[in-house]
Amino acid sequence: MYDAVLFDNDGVLVTVCEFSVFLEATRRAFEGFGVDPEPADVEAVSGVADPERVREICARYGLDPNALWRRRDREATLAQREEVRAGRKRPYDDLDVVRSLDVRTAIVSSNQHETVEFLLDHLDLRDAFDAYFGREHSMAGVERKKPATHYVERAMAAIDADPERTLMVGDSDSDLLAARNAGIDSAFLRREHRAGHEPSITPTHELSTLHGLYGLVGTSAD
Q: Where does this chain bind Mg ion (CB under 5 A)?
A: 8, 10-11, 171-172
**Which C-beta is closer to Mg ion: that of 149 or that of 172?**
172
Q: How far is the CB of 172 from Mg ion (least distance, A)?
A: 5
**What residues pair up with 104 in beta bridges, in sequence order?**
4
CB of residue 220 vs Mg ion: minimum separation in angstroms? 26
Q: Which is nearer to Mg ion, 30 or 129 (CB)?
A: 129
**What residue is closest to Mg ion based on CB?**
11
Three-state DSSP state, 5: strand
Q: Cβ distance 161 to 185 under 8 Å?
A: no
**CB closer to Mg ion, 15 vs 166:** 15
Contact between 90 and 202 (Cβ < 8 Å)? no
Q: How far is the CB of 142 from Mg ion (least distance, A)?
A: 16
The dihedral sign for the CA sequence 180, 182, 186, 191:
negative
DSSP letters for 154-185: HHHHHTT--GGGEEEEESSHHHHHHHHHHT-E
Q: How far is the CB of 111 from Mg ion (least distance, A)?
A: 8
Residue 11 Cβ, how far from Mg ion at the closest point, in Å? 4
Q: Give phi and psi for 109, each to the nearest 5.
A: -120, 145
Q: Hey, which residues does 188 pair with through a beta bridge?
A: 170, 206
Closer residue to Mg ion (CB): 26 or 111:
111
Residue with Cβ nearer Mg ion (63 or 106) = 106
